[in-house]
Amino acid sequence: MLDGIRVVELGVWVAGPAAGAMLADWGADVIKVEPPAGDPQRGVFRALGLKDGRVPPFEQDNRGKRSLVLDLRSEAELETFHKLLETADIFISNMRPTALEKYGLDGASVRSRHPHLIFGRITGYGSEGPDVNRAGYDVGGFWSRAGVPTRIVTPDTPPPNIPPGFGDHMTAVSLVSGLMAALFRRERSGEGAVVDTSLLRTGIYGLSADFSMQMFFGKLMPRTTREEAEAPLVNCYKTRDGKWIWMLAVESTRHWPNLLKALDREDWGKSAEFSSAKERYRNKIALVAAIDAETVKYDREELGRRFDAHDVWWAPVQTVDEVVADPQAVAAGAFIDIPGGHGEDNIRGVANPVSFNDNPVQARGSAPGIGEHSDALRNELDQTRE
């Protein structure tokens, strides 16, 4: 899809590199520019006291790229970087604005020197405002400051942590969508652009239903426990084997008779407290308790078969290892093989979430070693100048 497009990535940790990896999957030539010490994500296991070795999260977000080491503190190396940008279509960075300004790589400077370039920036909190240079990370910008934890748990529960890289990967998808729009516009107008997104805005966008309600009504429905669920038929329930299902009976009147048949509780249909959607809502605590008492009579697999037989919509609440083995996730193209470099074995990784023409996403190559392609890339630049 992006054959012939060159991307220069000045990215560290997850969000910027993840965007670069998506473009590499789609065929772009992605050049990862690293300082002499390399992307700190390379050493994440050392920070945990583990020995050197392969770092699957790094390989996940840096597959298919070429690595060029440049020390941008050197004027000569910085000039080499600009020569590289002259050959590029897209420039990605998730460095803080102050760091980019230090090297003359702020948006205005890049546009002035490289008007053809599409510059994609990921920040923690945006490109303007009092906290523009505050350290973000997804747990700070996407998760905490965007208010996400407060909508997941009840007010008396401590905020839960975020899985590693969760908000970073969502923000990477946001950036890539903007880059593709800017690339399309450039094909028509010849103009480059600065494309901005942030961890904060992506987190807020994810909660847009809640934010729109808050801004319109000035309040939100309070968070409740699952035992007090506002919609008992769209709720999680435990099964006999200690697993969970999520019931998806979103149309209460339509799905209610089917649920009664699946649970062999058609007598509930004659009960005054459950006789209508209004009554089921008014007696929601009792209804959740009643359903709880029924779902624990079945293992999850058996309950799922009963629900399917009676057209009760549901989904399993799966652990990560269950998802890896889920035939539907495999068939949907969720996983790929990432080639091993330097004679190493392939490792299993996660595909980016977009495919084209029913063609599965494939990793175009392994994650590079630090500066693995420096000599080749410098030679390419020398030949370009000639």
Q: Per-residue pLDDT tens for 63-84?
A: 999 999 999 999 999 999 999 9
Q: What is the mean pLDDT of residues 254-274?
A: 96
Is pLDDT above 70 for 386? no
The domains found in the chain, sorted by start residue, are: 6-207+363-385 (3.40.50.10540), 226-317 (3.30.1540.10)
Q: What is the pLDDT of residue 135?
A: 87
Q: What is the pLDDT of residue 64?
A: 97
Task: Output the average pLDDT for the chain.
Answer: 94
Q: How far is CA 209 from CA 148, 200, 219, in A?
A: 12, 16, 12
Lowest-confidence segment of 45-54, 244-253, 374-383 by average pLDDT: 45-54
d(CA 345, CA 385): 38
pLDDT in tens, 93-136: 999 999 999 999 999 999 999 999 999 999 999 999 999 999 88
Is pLDDT above 70 for 28? yes
Cα angle at 367 between 25 and 101, to 5 degrees? 85
Q: What is the mean pLDDT of residues 351-355?
A: 93
Q: Using the 8-state DSSP alphabet, how is residue 44 labeled?
A: T
Q: What is the mean pLDDT of residues 295-323?
A: 98
Burial class (CB in 10 A: 0-12, 13-18, 19+), 329: middle
Q: What is the mean pLDDT of residues 211-232?
A: 94
For the chain, what percent of residues have pLDDT higher than 90? 89
Q: What is the pLDDT of residue 155?
A: 87
Q: What is the pLDDT of residue 89?
A: 98
Q: What is the pLDDT of residue 47?
A: 66
pLDDT confidence bin for 343, thresholds 50/70/90 = confident
d(CA 252, CA 263): 16
pLDDT confidence bin for 51, thresholds 50/70/90 = low
pLDDT in tens, 152-184: 998 889 999 999 999 999 999 999 999 999 999
Q: How far is CA 197 from CA 32, 121, 200, in A?
A: 20, 6, 8
Is pLDDT above 70 for 46? yes
